[in-house]
Amino acid sequence: MAEKTDIKKEDDQMKSMSLGDHLEELRTRLFLAIAGLIVGFIVALIFGKFLFGIVVEPYADAVKLTGGTPHMQAIKPAEKFLMYLKTSLIFGLIFTAPWVFYQIWKFIAPGLYKNETKFVYIVTPASAALFVGGATFFLTVIAPLALKFFIGFDVGVEYVETNLTLDHYVDFMLALTLAFGIAFQLPIVIFFAEKLGLVTIEKLRKGRKFVFLGLFVAAAGATPPDPVSMLSLAAPLYVLYEGTIIVCAMLRRDSKKNEAESAEKDE
């Protein structure tokens, strides 16, 4: 009886230590992730004028195409300074996304089986790359197209002109930059849904036409109502969808092959 009690105490201590180690690891990863974000923010501040120019330049180009002179109002005393800081913060987040995803992976990895770890090696860098890629895609492709459409849109009344305030414009640009980074996580969502058994590769293939239609409907709501802008968003997302199906099929084939080899060894 005493022996069982000692074993129980030992198990409790191991669980307590395991939980303590787990919390310590979480604290370490959070600290490193936040430290990375701070470093990214500082670096973005150093290049703040250049980055701020990236955000504002599409508006200036769109206005020039309409024959106007770029002009934007800052109606609050600290507006320019705050928008400068906000721009640096968002770009700092984009720059450090790979580092943050890496810290998430380092926290999750010890609790995974060996065969699950290889998926994390794929998903973590892919997720970071997709986030950065989505944000970059918006700033370089979608934003110029959207602003040219909105600013050049003719309502039929001569005295109506676009006169933006700095905070509204910067908030609009930064919010959509993050939104596109998140939207490009679609392959990661599909990947985990397939791994968890929520969907199958066969269902993903059969649902192509519905996904194709859904992406174009979503793109029509998120972009200006012209075919070029809509296609610029829907086409990359659909390519990512098809690419995810291919990757999931390849991984499933490898998994079945490994299971078959393991079964042969056991026999």
Q: Where are the chain's structural domains?
A: 20-154+161-264
Question: Measured between alpha carbons, how far is 72 from 162 in angstroms, rounded to an integer?
Answer: 9
Q: What is the pLDDT of residue 32?
A: 94
First to last CA, the chain: 41
Kindly report the pTM of this predicted structure: 0.72
Q: What is the pLDDT of residue 40?
A: 93
Instruction: Determine the angle formed by the axes of helices 186-195 and 227-266, rounding to 10 degrees.
Output: 30
Please identify which residue in the block is written with the tokens 């305030």.
165
Residue spans of the chain under pLDDT 70:
1-19, 111-117, 223-226, 254-267
Tell me if residue 29 falls in helix, strand or coil: helix
Instruction: Determine the angle formed by the axes of helices 48-65 and 79-108, rounding to 10 degrees.
Output: 120
Question: Measured between alpha carbons, how far is 238 from 216 in angstroms, rounded to an integer?
Answer: 9
Chain centroid to Cα 116, Å, comes to 22
